[in-house]
């Protein structure tokens, strides 16, 4: 994700993968729909930094968006459902308040989390 290589990310998805951002109405299903979103509105995530996390026993990553000056700020926690080696769902929990609940740093600077 940090490289924002959409083709590589799509290869990790199951054919019928789901993509959602509660409480927003955004809900996608299938590799093609997710790929189009990543190549369109999702490009806001270019140059993000990630921290591996977990949520309710599931793999997750905390995404930090580029805030300039070698600083990244909390954006979303991506919770992954995985089956047979493929991502079957990505649920995005948006906003910095969620990060505090997970004990994640409130920013990342070039030298590491803070």
User: For the segment 87-96, what is each residue's pLDDT rounded down to a tens digit?
Assistant: 999 999 988 8
Buried b (16+ CB within 10 A) or exposed e, 89-111: bbbbbeeeebbeeeebbebbeee
Q: What is the pLDDT of residue 98?
A: 85
H-only helix segments in the chain: 6-11, 31-39, 96-101
- Using pLDDT thresholds of 50, 70 and 90, give the confidence band for residue 97: confident
Q: What is the pTM of this model?
A: 0.90
Average pLDDT over residues 5-32: 96
Average pLDDT over residues 67-74: 93
Residue 57, pLDDT > 60, answer yes
DSSP annotation of 103 reads: T
CA distance 13 to 105: 28
Average pLDDT over residues 17-38: 95
Residue 83 makes CB contacts below 8 A (sequence gap 6+) with 14
Q: What is the pLDDT of residue 114?
A: 54
β-sheet bridge partners, residue 29? 18
Average pLDDT over residues 42-66: 94
């Amino acid at each position: 994700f940090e490289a924002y290589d959409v083709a590589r990310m799509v290869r990790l998805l199951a054919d019928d993968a789901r993509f959602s951002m509660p409480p927003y109405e955004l809900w996608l299903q299938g590799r093609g729909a997710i790929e189009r979103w990543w190549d369109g509105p999702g490009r806001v995530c270019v140059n993000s930094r990630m921290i591996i996390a977990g949520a309710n026993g599931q793999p997750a990553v905390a995404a930090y968006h580029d805030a300039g000056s070698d600083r990244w700020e909390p954006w979303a926690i991506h919770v992954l459902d995985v089956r047979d080696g493929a991502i079957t769902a990505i649920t995005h929990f948006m906003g910095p308040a969620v990060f505090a609940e997970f004990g994640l740093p409130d920013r990342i600077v070039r030298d590491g989390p803070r």
